[in-house]
Structure 1
Amino acid sequence: MLSRKRNEPTSSSSRHAETSLISHGTIIRGDVRFTGTLHVEGRIEGSVLGEGANAVFTLSEHGQVQGEVRVPHAMINGQVNGDIYASERLELATQARVVGDVRYSSLEMAAGAQVNGRIAHQGDDHVQRELPAPEVRNETATA
């Protein structure tokens, strides 16, 4: 009877609760792709890429990323040396230190968080605006 319970397929809600941990003292050299939740207390030297609309990246106060972060949801409380692209929501906690540009759809930034770079909203309605080219007039001078 116990083996039958172990072989039952997992429900879809439990699959979304998958969490991966990179613990303190661990260094990953290379890009990291993940689904579900990735919690980093160590160091990643490479890009962090969350796949799927429900991917969540959390960086603890001792965690570090040396590279680009591209995820739907991010909670940052450590150091990121690279650009952050959060297509849904970005939370910068008190100990967050970002050296790079930040693009977000929804942003929450606590007092004490630091960003050394540009911060720009990028929603679904985000349109790159350019100034129109100046009109060129063909006027002949009459003297």
Structure 2
Amino acid sequence: MFGNDKHKSPRGGHAVETLIGPHAVIRGDIAFSGGLYVEGTIHGKVTAEDGTAAVITIADNGHIEGEVRAPVVVINGRMTGDVHAGERIELAAHARVSGNVHYKVVEMAAGAVITGRLIHADAPMAQLTGPEPAVVARLKTKAEAQEA
């Protein structure tokens, strides 16, 4: 009744243990556990400690430039870099992601934008690497033949 609800994230109901305030700019890598709520800017890799029930939330005005790795990722701000969500990623309406999103479960609201690839955790590696060299060589040969 008293005290517990004020430390809850607006999305998902996870406890926020660490807050990066709106005027904070952090340059460097961060390792965390529990709940991390980002209203400021982080330039660096943000990684949840292995085996922890960690949640990172990027608020409306929050921005991360670097890779993010966590079981649960909630984005409503800007993310520049790859995201690896071990369990789930939630992309809210104002989310702007420039990078690949690796996920098991994705929830994406109307208005969210991804400039990159959505890659399911169970996707075969062949899909991630692009066409095989033999296929590329055949395409080049066909293109050269059409030009002649």
Shared fold per TM-score greater than 0.5: yes
TM-score bracket relative to the smaller structure: 0.7 to 0.9
Shift of 1:120: 1.0
Q: Where in structure 1 are there 5+ consecutive unaligned residues?
A: 1-15, 135-143
Matched residue SS, 1:112: coil
Shift of 1:127: 3.9
Residue 118, structure 1, aligned to residue 123, structure 2: no
Residue 66, structure 1, aligned to residue 52, structure 2: no
Matched residue SS, 1:39: strand
Larger Rg over CA atoms: 1
Moved over 2 A (4+): 126-132
CA RMSD of aligned residues (A): 2.2
Distance (Å, rounded) in 2 between the aligned partners of 1:79 and 1:46:
14
Shift of 1:129: 4.4
Q: Determine the structure 2 residue equivalent to 1:25.
A: 23
Q: Determine the structure 2 residue equivalent to 1:13.
A: none
Distance (Å, rounded) in 1 between the aligned partners of 2:83 and 2:16:
23
- Per-residue CA shift, 1:10-69, capped at 9, x if unaligned? xxxxxx956100010000000010000100000000011011341100000000001001
| Aligned partner (choices 37, 40, 55) of residue 38 of structure 2 | 40
| Aligned partner (choices 125, 128, 131) of residue 128 of structure 1 | 125
TM-score by length of 2: 0.72
- Larger relative helix fraction: 2
Q: Relative to structure 1, is the Cα distance of residues 95 and 18 closer, same or farther in structure 2, using a 3 angstrom cutoff?
A: closer
Asked if the contact 2:34/2:52 (under 8 Å) is kept, the reply is no
Shift of 1:81: 0.6
TM-score by length of 1: 0.75
- Per-residue CA shift, 1:77-118, capped at 9, x if unaligned? 000010000010000000000000111000000000000001
